[in-house]
Amino acid sequence: MTALVFYFQVHQPFRLRRYTFFDIGVHDGYFDDTENARIVRRVADKCYVPMTEVLLAQIEKHAGKFKCAFSVSGTALEQMELWAPDALANFKRLADTGCVEFLCETSHHSLSFLVDRTEFEDQVRAQQKRVKELLGVEPTTFRNTELVVDNRVARWVEELGFKAILGEGADQLLGWRSPHRVYRPEGCERIKLLLRSYKLSDDIAFRFSNRAWSEWPLSADRFAEWVHALPPEEQFVGLFMDFETFGEHQWKETGIFAFMEHLPDAILKDPRFTFATPAEIAERFDPIARLDIPDPVSWADAERDLTAWLGNHMQRAAHEALYSLAPAVRKAAAAGHPELLEKWKKLTTSDHVYYQCTKWFSDGDVHKYFSPYASPHDAFIAFMNVLDDLTRRVAEANAALAPLEPSSTELPTTEAPSAKTPSASPAP
């Protein structure tokens, strides 16, 4: 038997206001809640509500034979609680079917795993708690931000008790190996690695509405033919994509909803094929080999690395300045200012450095689509202004506790790079 594993990522960042130099020291209204509310309601209307209804109908129609999985970031959960409760209610309905697995990730969709293990583990535990509270399930599978995985992250996640981790089936990682088998990351003893089949996933997520594509228009029957043609020894097909693919990135008018309504029937016509969740695959199969992942591999852009977030000087400067503040902001929070820590955590969301990306080549249109800023330089300036103000407030809070203790929370002095700084190198 070969199983299709549909995994959908749901994420919304807390976008920043156009916070200028003249706002520093004046107010701490960093986040544009009017715009955040507008966007999450729009996406709920176009994607979250109608597409979860499609999935619920397929689960009912096929008496549990259709299954899928989600990871919903903590920032998306919070925004749906505030502004789109009908969408959150539908995710709870999916959880209640027993046919949908909900995964764990970092609560704030952060890159904390790169530099701050304490923050990484804090966010993972916070996300576990929120998923349990809101959806009533205990996650056993982990997906890191933007599907980034390496040996170290896999080992940390294994130590936290997870049984499986998702990753990108990148060519530079696999070589001649198939992405349709279960692996074990080097240095791990228990956790299992399930990889994304990027060609088949991207046929739905990116190419579906492309009229220049030789396979346009793609039908459910045609896609099922490609899947059915896979060798019988293949264990599963990881179809991992943003949930916003349905209705937001690919509009309803493209036929994407109808495609998903017909796909389960088309797949199940061949009795060799089933649907499964990541946890079921991890339980069913032993790893066929170890994979050595010394460097982080992501699902972003042609490079499948970290250059979408840390590929230029602006991004690296912002990332380093943000995490240099971590010890001081934790100290302030412990002394009675938890609101400062929560603002800092919202700044750790990877979208903020993603908006500063200067890759305007093969993946440039994707970056421009997701960014609310006129340019990467504008994104950098707004972020650094916010961080400057937050740093001052953290320093003031700590100084009030120990007036004689020298402060070490000032940001390093850096010259603002040009928007044309060359690059060293998917939420709406």
382-422 residue pLDDT tens = 999 999 999 999 999 999 886 545 554 455 444 444 333 33
Instruction: Look up the CATH number of the domain holding residue 157.
Output: 3.20.110.20
Find how far residue 8's CA is from the centre of its chain: 9
Are residues 245 and 393 part of one domain? no
Q: Side chain identity at 241, as an amino acid letter?
A: M
Residue 421 lies in a domain: no
Q: Under a CB-based contact definition with an 8 Å cutoff, are residues 118 and 72 in contact?
A: no
Are residues 93 and 165 part of one domain? yes
Residue 397 lies in a domain: yes
Are residues 209 and 123 part of one domain? yes
Are residues 232 and 187 part of one domain? yes
Residue 66 lies in a domain: yes
Residue 224 lies in a domain: yes
pLDDT of residue 117: 97
**Stretch 140-153: mean pLDDT, rounded?**
97
Are residues 332 and 263 part of one domain? no
Are residues 75 and 169 part of one domain? yes
Q: Under a CB-based contact definition with an 8 Å cutoff, are residues 100 and 69 in contact?
A: yes
Tell me which residue has tokens 């346009």.
216
Are residues 213 and 325 part of one domain? no
Domain that residue 155 falls in: 2-291
Largest CA distance in the chain: 74
Listed in order, strand segments (DSSP E) in 233-321 are: 236-242, 273-275, 290-291
**Stretch 320-335: mean pLDDT, rounded?**
97
Q: Could you give phi then psi for residue 385, rounded to 5 degrees? A: -65, -45
178-215 residue pLDDT tens = 999 999 999 999 999 999 999 999 999 999 999 999 99
pLDDT of residue 371: 78
Residue 411 lies in a domain: no
Are residues 139 and 62 part of one domain? yes
Indicate the residue among 265, 291, 317 that finishes a domain.
291
Residue 296 lies in a domain: no
pLDDT of residue 372: 82
Residue 231 lies in a domain: yes
Tell me which residue has tokens 């049984």.
163
Residue 324 lies in a domain: yes
Are residues 372 and 285 part of one domain? no
Q: How far is residue 175's CA from residue 186's CA, in Å, rounded to a whole number?
A: 16
**Stretch 143-171: mean pLDDT, rounded?**
97
Active site (catalytic) residues: 146
Indicate the residue among 291, 322, 354 that finishes a domain.
291
Are residues 172 and 52 part of one domain? yes
**Stretch 346-354: mean pLDDT, rounded?**
98
Tell me the CB-side half-sphere exposure of residue 416, using CA atoms within 13 A.
13
Are residues 287 and 345 part of one domain? no
Token duo for residue 19: 């916070």
Q: Say whether pTM exceeds 0.85.
A: yes
What's the structural domain count of the chain?
A: 2
Are residues 321 and 275 part of one domain? no
